[in-house]
Amino acid sequence: MPELPEVETVARGLARVWEGRRFASVVTRRAGLRLPFPPHFAQRLTGRTIERVGRRAKYLVVRLDGGLVLLGHLGMSGRMVISGLKNTPPGPHDHVEFVTDDGVVVTLTDPRRFGLMILCDAAEVEAHPLLAGIGPEPLEAGFDAQVLAGALAGKATPIKSALLDQKVVAGLGNIYVCESLFRARISPLRPARDVTRDEIGLLVGCVKDVLTEAIAAGGSSLRDHVRPDGELGYFQHGFKVYGREGEPCPDCAGAPACGGIRRIAQAGRSTFYCAERQR
Ligand SMILES: [Zn+2]
């Protein structure tokens, strides 16, 4: 599932090919994804110039001339694929095709169809029901120890689950929460309210570092972004704990001090951590 760095990478990749261009045609191949496409979706986009492509939490925010905004979410499995040629037949999961005036084709491919594409007015973006109530952007200055401490105060839920709450902080998902807690040496099992102010300060820095490094890794994957299979948003970068159950812990000396990376379930999601290093 794409998290903040993946969506940021998609936004930056789309910005390169879309900003300043005009949608020459938009084709939808089904009635919708998680939600139906808005009425006249394709017609309302066609002919518009793309002014800016950005991101809020895990949403793509595409600003068009005339004050129209395309809000997109990639759901569980959505991908935006850039290609230079229009004439390849669409695959079964290619649901929307965007063609700009220079002939570049961007296809939204989403096998599980949990993604969404909606339209709204520029003045309504922040207050839109999908975005209203979402917490601070973790890479912005407004996300600091004081803000996070305020959001965690009194919460009995484990810190792992609290950080997944989009009202606490925007855009974090399972992968980057596990990685951030590992770096900050905080057990994912600790009640959020028991994490000390000093630890929260450390955690904020770790969240920012983990995300910044992942975005940098995604950015390096963008170099070849225009090619027949130019897929955006998924890239190789090293996770220290995520998906590494049973592997040696990268920061401990190993057995018997540390039994390696453990996987437990919290609120139905896998948590990966080191029980020795994270207390
Ligand atoms: Zn360890």
Among the listed ranges 24-28, 46-50, 179-183, 251-255, which one has the minimum average pLDDT value? 251-255
Q: How many whole angstroms separate alpha carbon 157 and alpha carbon 134?
A: 19
Average pLDDT taken over every residue of the chain: 89
DSSP line for 62-109: EEEGGGEEEEEE-TTT-EEEEES-S-SPPPTTEEEEEEETT--EEEEE
pLDDT band of residue 78 (cuts 50, 70, 90) is confident
26, containing H or E segment: strand 23-28
Whether 145-273 and 4-124 are alike in CATH topology: the answer is no
Residue 25 CA to its chain's centroid (Å): 27
> pLDDT digits over 192-237, tens only?
999 999 999 999 999 999 999 988 877 665 544 333 345 554 445 5
pTM above 0.75, yes or no: yes
> pLDDT digits over 120-131, tens only?
999 999 899 999
Taking 80 as the threshold, does the pLDDT of residue 88 lie above it?
no
pLDDT for res 1: 72
pLDDT band of residue 89 (cuts 50, 70, 90) is confident
Highest mean pLDDT among 25-39, 73-87, 241-255: 25-39
Output the CA 212–ligand 1 centroid distance in Å.
Answer: 23
Please identify which of the residues 12, 48, 58, 79 carries the catalytic annotation. Answer: 58
Q: How many whole angstroms separate alpha carbon 45 and alpha carbon 24?
A: 9
Which residues have their alpha-adjacent CB atom under 5 A from ion ligand 1?
249, 252, 258, 274, 276-277
pLDDT for res 226: 38
Q: Let me know if domain 145-273 sits in CATH 1.10.8.50.
A: yes
pLDDT for res 9: 87
pLDDT for res 257: 72
Output the CA 9–ligand 1 centroid distance in Å.
Answer: 31
Mean pLDDT of 43-72: 97
Output the CA 148–ligand 1 centroid distance in Å.
Answer: 26
% of the chain at pLDDT higher than 70: 91
Domain residue limits, the chain? 4-124, 145-273
CATH architecture of 4-124: Alpha-Beta Barrel (3.20)
Q: Residue for token digits 């990268």?
A: 250
63 annotated active-site:
no
pLDDT for res 220: 60
Output the CA 202–ligand 1 centroid distance in Å.
Answer: 18
